[in-house]
Chains A and B, each alone.
Chain A
C-alpha cells in the first residue's frame, strides 16, 4: 500500500527526472536569445567569407588596370554587372574582391589586438584582484594612466614614430586596449577570491599560480569572452579610423578604412566607393556587438 509520504517522494523524483539538464537549459536560452543567434550567424558568415576569400573573390584584389577604372556597380550599370558586380576603384581593381578581402584585414586586426590586450589586461586584472592592497593600488594607477591617454592621438603618434604598417597598428592597439580587460578581471577575481573552494584550495596548500590558473581563471572565462568582443569591435573601428586618416594600414592592402580614404575624393560622383566598405565595417561590428551582448545574457543567466 502506498502511503502519502512515499507518494510525495515519488512525485519529487518525477519532477527531478523532468528537470532539464544544464546543457538543455543553456541550449534553450541560446535559441531564445535572438540577438545572440543573429550576431553569431552573421559573424560566422563574415568569417567564412574572409577565410574562403581566395576562392570566393572573382578577381585579384591587387590587380590594377587603369583602362577599367571607376566602373559603376550593378545597380547603375547593367552591362558590367557580370564582370564587376560592385564596380572598380580608381585604379581599376575589382571592388567586390577588395571588400571581401577587407574582411580578412579587419578580422585579423581584431583577433590579434584582442589576443595581445587580453593577455596584458587579464594578467594585470587578475593579479590586482587576487593580491589586493598595494598591488591593487599600483595596477589601478596604471589603468587610470592608460585611460587618461587619448588612444587615437597617441596611436597616431606611435604610427608616425614606428612607421605605418599592419604590424605596428596591431601592436599599438594591443598595447592600448587592455583597460576594460583589467577592470573587469580585477572585480571578478576579487569576488572569486573569497569563494569557498578557493579558500579550500588555499587551505590544502596549493600554490598561488596554481590557484589563479586552475581555480580562479575558469570563473572569469565567460566575462573574458564578453569583454573580448567589445574590445575586438573597438579595435576594428579604431583601425578603420586610423587607416582612413592615413595613419594605419598602407596601400595597396584592402583595408576597409583605407578604402574609405581612397574613395573619399570620388564621394560626390561615386558614393558607392564609400558606401560599400562602410557597410562591411558596420555589419561586422554590429555582428560582434550582438554576439557579445547575447553571450553576456546567456552566460549571466547561468550564473544567477
Chain B
C-alpha cells in the first residue's frame, strides 16, 4: 500500500509537469505576447523593450524553466493586462468557484443517491424507468442552454431568482443546479448498479433473515457499501466541474476563476490562463489520487497490480 501510494504520487507529479509544459508551449505558440502587452499603437522599439523586459527574446525552453522554478516557489507571474500578481487574482476568486463546485456536487449527490437507491430496490419498476429516463435526458441537455432556459423561466418570467452576480445565497441556486445536474446521470447509474449488486449479496440476505428492520438493512448494510465508489466518482466529477464552471460562471456573471479564465482568454492574458490550467489540472490529479487510494484501500488487490 505504501509503495503504491508513493508510486501514484510520483506519477501525479510527472503528469502535472507534462501538463504545465504542454500548456506553456501552447500559449507561446500564439500571437506575439509582446504585442498584446504593448498594445496596438506601440512602436517597434516599445515592443522590443517589452520583449526584453518579459524575457520573450529567450528560448521557449528557458522561459519555461524560469516560469516553472518561480511557480514552484509560489509565484505564478503577473497578469499582462491587470499588471497584478496572478496568485492574488486567483486567490481572491477561487472561493466563489470552490463554493459553486462544492454545492454542485452536493446537489448531484443529493439527487442521485436516493434516486439510484430507490431505482435499485425495484428494478424495472416505474420509478426505475423514470430515473433512467431522467438520466438519459440529463445527459443530452447542454449545460449552458439549460442555464439560459432557467434564467428565462425563473429569472425573467417568474422572477424568483437573481440572474447575475454572487452577493447572496440565492445567486448560487441556478448555477448550482446548472452545473450539478450534469453529474447526476453518471452518479445515479453507479449508485443503482452498486445497490443492485449489494442487495443480492449473501450478507444482506443474512441480515434480512436475522429479522433486522428493512430500513436498517438498507442504510447500515447496503448503502454504506454501495456508496463508496460513488464518493470516489464524485471526487473525480468535482474536478470536471471546475472546468465546467467556465461556462456557468460566465453566464451567471459569478466572478470566480472560471469567469477569470474567460476574461483572461479574451485579453490573451497568458500567465493567468496558464496558472488556471495548472490549478485545474492539480485539482484533477489530487482528486483522482484520492479516488484511487480510496479504492485501493477498500480493495487491496488493486495496489498489488
Contact partners of B160 in chain A: CB under 8 A: none
B15 touches A157 (CB 8 A): no
Interface window among A43-51, A205-213, A219-227, A281-289: A281-289
Distance of B268 from chain A, by nearest CB (Å): 6
Question: Mask for B25-53, Cβ within 8 A of A = 1, else 0?
Answer: 01101110000000000000000000000
Contact partners of A282 in chain B: CB under 8 A: 140-142, 145
Interface window among A55-63, A78-86, A121-129, A142-150: A142-150
Contact partners of A247 in chain B: CB under 8 A: 265
Interface size in chain A (residues, C-beta < 8 A)? 41
Distance of A297 from chain B, by nearest CB (Å): 12
Is A197 interfacial (CB 8 A cutoff)? no
A286 touches B247 (CB 8 A): no
Interface window among B92-100, B111-119, B146-154, B207-215: B146-154
Is A274 interfacial (CB 8 A cutoff)? yes
Set B14, B19, B265, B285: member contacting A157, Cβ < 8 A: B265
Is B273 interfacial (CB 8 A cutoff)? yes
A286 touches B136 (CB 8 A): yes
For residues 235 through 260 of chain B, which have their beta carbon under 8 Å from a beta carbon of chain A? 242-244, 246-247, 250
Is B16 interfacial (CB 8 A cutoff)? yes
Main secondary structure of the interface of B (DSSP, over half): helix
Interface window among A94-102, A179-187, A238-246: A238-246
B144 touches A244 (CB 8 A): yes
Set B14, B261, B281: member contacting A149, Cβ < 8 A: B281
A278 touches B18 (CB 8 A): no
Is A20 interfacial (CB 8 A cutoff)? no
Contact partners of B262 in chain A: CB under 8 A: 156, 245
Q: How far is the CA of A76 from the CA of B19 in the complex (A)?
A: 51
Q: How far is the CA of A157 from the CA of B275 in the complex (A)?
A: 12
A274 touches B284 (CB 8 A): no
Known contacts A278-B149, A285-B140, A290-B136: does B284 contact A148 (CB below 8 Å)?
yes
A141 touches B11 (CB 8 A): yes
Nearest B residue (CB) for A236: B142
Contact partners of A160 in chain B: CB under 8 A: 30, 265, 268
Question: Mask for B99-141, Cβ within 8 A of A = 1, else 0?
Answer: 0000000000000000000000000000000000000110111
Is A298 interfacial (CB 8 A cutoff)? no
Is B143 interfacial (CB 8 A cutoff)? yes
Is B195 interfacial (CB 8 A cutoff)? no
**Pairs of residues from A and B, 9 with the lowest C-beta to C-beta distance, nearest first:** A161-B30, A286-B140, A278-B145, A150-B280, A150-B243, A285-B140, A148-B281, A271-B152, A145-B18
Q: List 6 A-B contacts (CB under 8 A).
A: A147-B284, A157-B277, A233-B140, A240-B144, A245-B246, A278-B142
> Which of B's residues lie within 8 Å of A, judged by CB?
11, 14-16, 18-19, 22-23, 26-27, 29-31, 136-137, 139-145, 148-149, 151-152, 156, 242-244, 246-247, 250, 261-262, 265, 268, 273, 276-277, 280-281, 284-285, 288
